[in-house]
Amino acid sequence: MQHNNILILDFGSQYTQLIARRVRELNIYCEIHPFNKIPKNLDTFKAVVLSGSPFSVRGEDAVHPDLSEIRGKKPLLAVCYGAQYLAHFSGGEVAPSNTREYGRANLSFIKSNEAFFKNINEGSQVWMSHSDTIKHLPTNGVLLASTHDVKNAAYKIEGEETYAIQFHPEVYHSTDGKQLLENFLVHIAKVEQDWTPQSFVEETVEDLQNKLGNDKVVLGLSGGVDSSVAAMLLHKAIGKNLYCIFVNNGLLRKNEFTDVLEQYKGMGLNVKGVDASARFLDALAGLSDPELKRKAIGRAFIEVFDDEAHLIEDVKWLAQGTIYPDVIESVSATGGPSATIKSHHNVGGLPDFMKLKIVEPLKALFKDEVRRVGASMDMDATLLGRHPFPGPGLAIRILGDITAEKVRILQEVDAVFINGLKEWNLYDKVWQAGAILLPVNSVGVMGDERTYEKCVALRAVESTDGMTADWVNLPYEFLQKTSNDIINKVKGVNRVVYDISSKPPATIEWE
């Protein structure tokens, strides 16, 4: 089935993925493409959105998309940079703003009887983020809305289905942003809202059956949401021809290997558990540098996985739980920061000796959509609600070198913390939580004796996508009980601290 597709052209804005997520929340399918790689065939796209950008349309480095096949031919919504681009190069004028227009503002004027602003009233809060402003509208431009400081906050171009706004409807602070996108996509562009988790499951299962036929597929399960949902989709499509391998790298949470293995078997998956903890600990011996630890774990995983894959006769495909943000980062508009942020992401990390074809059933989905797809297949809510957990596991939460004893200490501390969050009904209010074992010993007193033992840091953050994150204000009573439990129950720890840093600038993980 062909969905009505929305094309989002990315000019490098940090908010581009948010636009896509808001569009999909309306049950409309959309794709992000860099502004300089516009798809050749635009027939499948029902409307186009131009994103914001860190560039200025007045600068030498202003980016110029070729809109000849789009403007006037398809409904077009231009956001921020897009709005300024259309004005500046089509008979209007963009100039530096006297005041940097950043943050919350309110619409003080809205042109009446405009479909674009249906069900949105004067006073509606919007989010601005730009240092230039549109002084004069482009040829045939009609003013649609203003704020106190920004006269040309929204306009349309007469004779075209082209609309432009100088604020970000995709950001939560724009209270009617979703309504505005709905007005443009559903009422103006006449796009049908037919992209649902159920339709995704039905189409994906059918596509997988056509693509894979009677071939065997191998998938590495991690216990996380993405690989688990990918496994269920493949299981629905090809049943016993899916061979799942769940590797214990010795760096999982306490009891996780056995618990998760049982859970997978309960889901009917054809899964084999491989305990390779000793192999991973050997590979990590003496390494303290985070990148070297990541690489050692990656190499060990590939070796173990390859050994296991060779035991499956005639396996043709490797399935991966790659999701859409991984794909976008790999082809980002500006070359992007994505290349340098992490070395353990899922895309393109295959060694030459695994010559299998790749199948990625989730590569069109955002994280929240993966969960919704899992729920529509009646997967266990506790599995779908699991916090993200780093690929290298506890190795990057033990700062410095890794030993079996340090892993034991951190597993015990982490278990007290995570179980406590669940008992206090706090687990689902947190995006990600964990404990970090610090490479310092500190002085303490237990009974009459002085101790010189480990210090652990607890970390809990809230986020929607992991791109930005705030530390969670956990109740003092909870922190007090957790600290007491850790120090009393975990041999080798005498001090507990709580990390109150947000991202940016501090990343969620410490390494």
Burial per residue of 296-322, b for 16 or more beta-carbon CB atoms within 10 angstroms, e otherwise? bbbebbbebbeebbeeeeebbbbbbbb
Mean pLDDT over 104-115 rounds to: 94
Distance between CA atoms of residues 239 and 232, nearest Å = 9
Which residues make Cβ contacts (< 8 Å) with residue 487, sequence separation at least 6?
Answer: 493, 494, 495, 496
**Tokens 């892993």 appear where?**
407
| 228 appears as a binding residue in the annotation | yes
The tens digit of pLDDT for each residue in 336-395 reads: 333 333 333 344 455 544 678 899 999 989 888 999 999 999 999 989 999 989 889 999
170 catalytic per annotation: yes
Considering only CA atoms, which of 389, 441, 435, 392 is closest in space to residue 410? 435
Domain 197-385 has CATH 3.10.100.10: no
Which is more confident, 162 or 99? 162
**Tokens 């992209």 appear where?**
195
| 226 appears as a binding residue in the annotation | yes
What is the side-by-side order of every strand in the sheet holding 242-248? 271-275, 242-248, 216-221, 315-319, 357-359
Tell how far CA 351 is from the center of its chain. 25
Tell how far CA 473 is from the center of its chain. 23
| 56 appears as a binding residue in the annotation | no
| 442 appears as a binding residue in the annotation | no
* Structure tokens that stand for 129 in this block: 């983020």
Using the predicted structure, report yes or no on whether residue 130 has a pLDDT greater than 50. yes
The tens digit of pLDDT for each residue in 186-207 reads: 999 999 999 999 999 999 999 9
Distance between CA atoms of residues 31 and 16, nearest Å = 11
Distance between CA atoms of residues 117 and 100, nearest Å = 25
Read off the pLDDT band of 180 (50, 70, 90): very high
SS3 labels along 315-383 = EEEEECCCCHHHHHHHCCCCCCCHHHHCCCCCCCCCCCCCCCEEECCCCCCCHHHHHHHHHHCCCCHHH
* Structure tokens that stand for 150 in this block: 């920004």
* Structure tokens that stand for 491 in this block: 């041999």
**pLDDT at 328 (0 to 100):** 74
| 370 appears as a binding residue in the annotation | no
**pLDDT at 276 (0 to 100):** 96
Distance between CA atoms of residues 434 and 417, nearest Å = 7
What DSSP state is assigned to residue 436? E
80 catalytic per annotation: yes
**Tokens 């950001």 appear where?**
171
- 164's enclosing H/E stretch is strand 162-165
Fold of 404-498: GMP Synthetase; Chain A, domain 3 (3.30.300)
Residue 160 contacts residue 154 (beta carbons within 8 Å): no
- The letter for the amino acid at 480 is Q
Among 175-189, 196-210, 239-253, 456-470, the least confident range: 456-470
Distance between CA atoms of residues 509 and 511, nearest Å = 6
The tens digit of pLDDT for each residue in 74-105 reads: 999 999 999 999 999 999 999 988 766 678 89
CATH of domain 5-188: 3.40.50.880
What DSSP state is assigned to residue 467? S
**Tokens 């980062």 appear where?**
329
- The letter for the amino acid at 67 is L
| 224 appears as a binding residue in the annotation | yes
Among 85-99, 210-224, 279-293, the least confident range: 85-99
**pLDDT at 354 (0 to 100):** 65
Which is more confident, 267 or 504? 267
Mean pLDDT over 198-224 rounds to: 94
**pLDDT at 119 (0 to 100):** 96
Q: Hey, which bits of 321-415 come out as E strands?
A: 357-359
pTM score, whole prediction: 0.80
Helix (H, G, I), strand (E, B) or coil at 316: strand
Read off the pLDDT band of 468 (50, 70, 90): confident
- The letter for the amino acid at 222 is S
- Does residue 361 have a cis peptide bond before it, meaning omega lies within 30 degrees of 0? no
* Structure tokens that stand for 403 in this block: 């030993």
Residue 392 contacts residue 250 (beta carbons within 8 Å): no
**Which one of the listed residues 88, 130, 168, 235 is annotated catalytic?**
168
**pLDDT at 341 (0 to 100):** 32
**Which one of the listed residues 3, 30, 80, 412 is annotated catalytic?**
80
- Spans of all domains in the chain: 5-188, 197-385, 404-498
Q: How far apart are the first and last CA of the chain?
A: 44
DSSP bridge pairs for 73:
none
Which is more confident, 328 or 173? 173
**Which one of the listed residues 161, 170, 369, 511 is annotated catalytic?**
170
Considering only CA atoms, which of 104, 109, 103 is closest in space to residue 123? 109
| 222 appears as a binding residue in the annotation | yes
Mean pLDDT over 232-258 rounds to: 96
